[in-house]
């Protein structure tokens, strides 16, 4: 990896075109980086001399410590109350973006210009990532001010995240909805799809739904959202009664078709979960859910047996089965995700003319503006759809001026 064999092993960070070396000297951790690996070694040598001099005190919060050293102490208590998924996201931003850029700088040497340079590096990154990075940088340096490590935060108050906005999701069309519902009927993934599509549940809410929270034998069937299953990156999962926010706790009416399918499928698996892992009967794990969703999206297998034109398994000269990568298509040929099903549900409610506060409640949002800004999309801005509205307003306009163009009507619209 090294261009110079006399230098110890370092890590090359392609996104920053820099070399990094992390290690421990006399029990003290360090992390240094530079475009020149020899500069990294010089920094390490200076650090070792600093430690040997006895002046280095890692327990003292002062401006002489590096951002990396400060974050080492700030991070554990900061994430202690976060849920596993949030902590993972938090850690990814800190370890993959903030520390590689600021880690070796003295915390009292970071200036607003350095913050601007950091966001210049992230200029092609998503608005979501840049917003998280800005939030965490504010948190780090505000904490440093509170603990007298620095006198003023270098993060400008009016700094905006910017970045590349995510493309707006297009909800499923009526034809795609009908095709999907027909395709999943009777499969393991059916109830999951219908709960996201017909009740607007989030993935974790659907996986955490218990049969005891589904009320089918009442005049107006409904379900109560009060649990969730968080899928973790290590392949496991966590069942929890603590939802995303207070607004996420809600009662949702069950449409007739879904109520019928729930009655038909109730008791099919010996489980308290409506959508359980079929192997254990308990909550879904990350890997179990991936296999479930493969039914919809399709999947690849690299160890599939190769077959000839007659369908017979191909053997090699030693009699062993020849393996090949094979694509197994999903039940539909268009792109769909669990969140897109929820997105479609909320969009359809908005298109129906339902009061936005009612939609906010059903979606489990804390603010109605979130419902309007993110999850709604006009399904069809065709002339056929829009003409009745404009004709109704401007239909009385004539050239002789004796017709009635109702300005009050326009103002109301």
pLDDT for 237 beyond 60: yes
Give, rounded to a whole angstrom, the gap between the first and last alpha carbons of the chain: 66
The pLDDT tens digits for 27-77 are 777 777 677 888 788 878 877 887 787 766 665 666 578 899 899 889 988
The more confident residue out of 312 and 403 is 312
Which of the following CATH numbers is that of domain 11-146: 1.10.3470, 2.60.310, 3.30.70, 1.10.150? 1.10.150
C-alpha to C-alpha distance for 207 and 285, rounded to whole angstroms:
10
Asked if residues 65 and 140 have their Cβ atoms less than 8 Å apart, the reply is no
Q: Which residues pair with 23 in a beta bridge?
A: 30
What separation in angstroms does the CA of 114 have from each of 98, 156, 187, 308, 328?
A: 12, 11, 54, 62, 49
User: What does the pLDDT read at residue 397?
Assistant: 60
Highest-scoring range by mean pLDDT, 14-18, 246-250, 393-397: 246-250
Q: What predicted TM-score, i.e. pTM, was given to this entire model?
A: 0.64
Which token pair is 69? 């050293």
Report pLDDT digits (tens) over 210-230: 999 999 999 999 999 999 998
Q: What is the mean pLDDT of the segment spanning 289-297?
A: 93
Strand partners, 252: 223
What DSSP state is assigned to residue 28? Answer: E
Q: What is the phi/psi pair of residue 48, to 5°? A: -60, -40
The pair of structure tokens assigned to 266 is 């109730």
pLDDT digits (tens, 9 = 90+) for 331-376: 999 999 999 999 999 988 888 878 889 999 999 988 888 777 765 5
- Rounded to whole angstroms, the maximal C-alpha distance in the chain is 95
Exposed / middle / buried, residue 230 (Cβ in 10 Å: 0-12, 13-18, 19+): buried
Q: Is the pLDDT of residue 264 over 90?
A: yes
Which tens digits make up the pLDDT trace of 96-150? 999 999 988 888 889 999 999 999 988 888 888 999 999 999 999 999 988 888 8
pLDDT above 90 as % of the chain: 38
| Residue boundaries of the structural domains of the chain | 11-146, 174-297, 380-413
Least confident interval from 83-92, 152-161, 178-187, 332-341: 83-92
- Work out the pLDDT band at 407, boundaries 50, 70, 90: very low
> What is the overall mean pLDDT for the chain?
83
């Amino acid at each position: 990896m090294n261009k110079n064999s006399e230098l110890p092993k370092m890590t090359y960070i392609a996104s920053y075109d820099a070399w990094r070396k992390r290690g421990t000297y006399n029990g003290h951790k360090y992390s240094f980086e530079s475009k020149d690996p020899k500069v990294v070694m010089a920094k390490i040598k200076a650090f070792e001399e600093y430690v040997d001099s006895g002046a280095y005190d890692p327990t003292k919060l002062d401006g002489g410590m590096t951002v990396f050293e400060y974050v080492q102490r700030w991070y554990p208590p900061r994430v202690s109350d976060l849920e596993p998924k949030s902590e993972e996201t938090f850690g990814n931003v800190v370890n993959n973006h903030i520390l590689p850029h600021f880690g070796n700088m003295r915390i009292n040497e970071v200036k607003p210009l350095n913050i601007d340079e950091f966001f210049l590096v992230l200029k092609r990154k998503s608005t979501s990532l840049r917003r998280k990075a800005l939030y965490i940088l504010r948190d780090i340096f505000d904490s440093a001010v509170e603990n007298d490590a620095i006198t003023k935060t270098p993060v400008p108050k009016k700094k905006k995240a910017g970045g590349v906005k995510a493309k707006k999701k297009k909800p499923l069309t009526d034809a795609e909805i009908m095709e999907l519902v027909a395709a999943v009927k009777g499969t393991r993934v059916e109830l999951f799809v219908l709960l996201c599509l017909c009740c607007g549940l989030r993935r974790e809410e659907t996986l955490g739904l218990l049969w005891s929270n589904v009320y089918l034998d009442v005049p107006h069937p409904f379900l109560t959202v009060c649990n969730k299953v968080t899928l973790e990156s290590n392949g496991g999962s966590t069942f929890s009664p603590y939802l995303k926010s207070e607004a996420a706790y809600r009662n949702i009416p069950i449409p007739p078709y879904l109520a019928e399918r729930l009655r038909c499928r109730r008791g099919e698996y010996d489980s308290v979960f409506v959508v359980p892992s079929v192997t254990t009967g308990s909550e879904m794990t990350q890997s179990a859910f991936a296999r479930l969703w493969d039914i919809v999206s399709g999947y690849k297998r690299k160890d599939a047996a190769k077959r000839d034109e007659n369908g017979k398994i191909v053997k090699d000269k030693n009699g062993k089965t020849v393996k090949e990568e094979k694509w197994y298509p999903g039940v539909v040929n268009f792109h769909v995700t669990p969140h897109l099903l929820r997105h479609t549900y909320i969009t359809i409610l908005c298109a129906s003319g339902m009061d936005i506060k009612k939609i906010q409640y059903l979606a489990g949002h804390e603010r109605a503006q979130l419902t309007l800004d993110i999850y709604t999309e006009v399904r069809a801005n065709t002339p056929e759809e829009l003409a009745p509205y404009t004709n109704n307003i401007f239909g009385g306009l004539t050239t002789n001026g004796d017709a009635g163009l109702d300005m009050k009507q326009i103002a109301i619209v």
